[in-house]
Amino acid sequence: MRATSTRESSTRESSTMAPKHIEDDARPSSCVGARVERGDEGAAATTTPKVALVLGVTGQTGSYLTDLLLSKGYIVHGLTHSTWQNYPERLRHVMCASSPFRSSFVLHQGDILEFEALVRLFEHVKPCEIYNLAAQSSVHLSFQQPLSTVKSVGLGVFNVIEAIRTVNQAIKLFQASSSEIFGKTKVFPQRETTPPCPCSPYANAKLMAHQAVIMHREAYGLYAVSGILYNHESSRRGANFVTQKIVTAAVRIKHGLQQQVELGNLNSRRDWGHAQDFVVCMWKMLQLDEPEDFIVATGKTHTVRQFVTFAFKAVGIDVEFQNSGTEEIGINKATGEVIVKVDPKYFRPDEPIQTVGDSTKAFELLQWQPEIDLAQLIEEMVTACEWRLIHGDKQTPTRIRGSAG
Ligand code: G4F
């Protein structure tokens, strides 16, 4: 991808939601982006890249989505709540000086709960697609911080939708909904039509956001859709989620840097996919003519205990589980050492026993299906963790799928 010289010469490492701070060069004048000149064997062709805005861009999923959109020729603006020094780790490969995408990406800092600032941001960025991934994402934390969770997860989407209605009703919105909305359901696998039954503050807030998208779509004819996302993991997953916690512990125990890992509910079953697969589905959802909600899942479910077994196996350690309940332990079969223990502090007051989604609709209407299986996911996470151990706590080198960069 090649940008105009104006954009190439600009520095796009940081800006804020306040328009006075937004660099205003080559600003697109409509829903589409600035004009870009491309050389094609001597014949100049002109294309007009689309402009996307990713809310929550510095999270795991936001960073993969950014990679995907950039590889498709989009100009990508991202909003993050966090402060950063040079640039956020998960976007280092996009924002560093050697990145071919540096001039096509703009990072803004702000909060989706600031309505006026959100409106100003939308007015300046003029996106044709907005992806709302911005919210507190820990189910466990939502029990300790229910009100702030409901605000960021539930009210945040009202702000985003109202800002779209204020600025340009033609903007397409993707909302990250969650399998957590199905909570205590007894329906397996869950489909788009499965009745919700949330059982955490996080899940209640996600359901509120989910219903808000449907309501605004039906009331105002907006192109607003929810992807009901099942657990999606990767080497970029935050350390507080169970997959990263287990993989990191397995690698550290292998290298003698840690003795054991304490976990909560080992019986819980989750449908774990790869975030890089899921962002493809999210993008496809905004390319349809008519807005539709979709389940985004692998259709396969495993217990936390199984994930532990697979992750330790991937680093060459065979684990054998003994006892049950809070007395359950995982033994290193080769040494007899206890390497997994249960600590009730990681239990939640309530949670879905099993999540498993049926993505048939996504397969039929979007031709989407996941490409990375659980074994490949774990292998990638282990490799990245080993790399971080050797090179310090830095994100692993990233190659954007589908790009020459
Ligand atoms: O990795 P988790 O914390 O993810 P959880 O709660 O399923 O939520 C994730 O997926 C949802 C669906 O996409 C998202 F909406 C949400 O934002 C988030 O991305 O926990 C997975 C399972 C749970 O059943 C939990 O009880 O692992 C169990 N678990 C057992 N021990 C643990 C632990 N979870 C964590 N985080 N830490 C433990 O020590």
Nearest atom of ligand 1 to the alpha carbon of 264: 31
For residue 317, report the distance from its CA to the centre of ligand 1, in Å. Answer: 23
For residue 10, report the distance from its CA to the centre of ligand 1, in Å. Answer: 40
For residue 142, report the distance from its CA to the centre of ligand 1, in Å. Answer: 12
How much of the chain, in percent, has pLDDT values that exceed 70? Answer: 85
Residues with a CB atom less than 6 Å from ligand 1: 137, 139-140, 178-180, 229-231, 240-242, 245, 263-265, 268, 270, 304, 346, 348, 351
- pLDDT mean over 380-387: 97
Mean pLDDT, rounded, of the chain? 89
Instruction: Kindly list the distances between the CA atom of residue 347 and the CA atoms of 216, 262, 326, in Å, as whole numbers in the listed order.
Output: 36, 11, 10
If one residue of 228, 241, 306, 353 were mutated to test the ligand 1 pocket, choosing by the most ligand atoms within 8 A of its CB, it would be 241
If one residue of 270, 306, 342, 354 were mutated to test the ligand 1 pocket, choosing by the most ligand atoms within 8 A of its CB, it would be 270
Residue 83 banded pLDDT, cuts 50, 70, 90: confident
3-state DSSP of 69-98: HHHCCCEEEEEECCCCCCCCHHHHHHHCCC
pTM for the full predicted model? 0.89
Instruction: Kindly list the distances between the CA atom of residue 303 and the CA atoms of 289, 346, 395, in Å, as whole numbers in the listed order.
Output: 38, 16, 28
Ligand 1: residue whose CA is nearest its atom 28: 265
pLDDT at 376 over 90: yes
pLDDT at 368 over 70: yes
Q: What is the pLDDT of residues 27-44, one digit of tens each?
A: 222 333 333 333 344 444
For residue 24, report the distance from its CA to the centre of ligand 1, in Å. Answer: 41
Contacts with 258 (C-beta within 8 Å, 6 or more apart), sequence order = 249, 252
Nearest atom of ligand 1 to the alpha carbon of 179: 12
For residue 241, report the distance from its CA to the centre of ligand 1, in Å. Answer: 6
Nearest atom of ligand 1 to the alpha carbon of 244: 1
Rounded distance, CA 382 to CA 12, Å? 33
For residue 71, report the distance from its CA to the centre of ligand 1, in Å. Answer: 30
> Residue 21's pLDDT is what?
30
- pLDDT mean over 17-33: 33
> Residue 82's pLDDT is what?
86
> Residue 7's pLDDT is what?
34
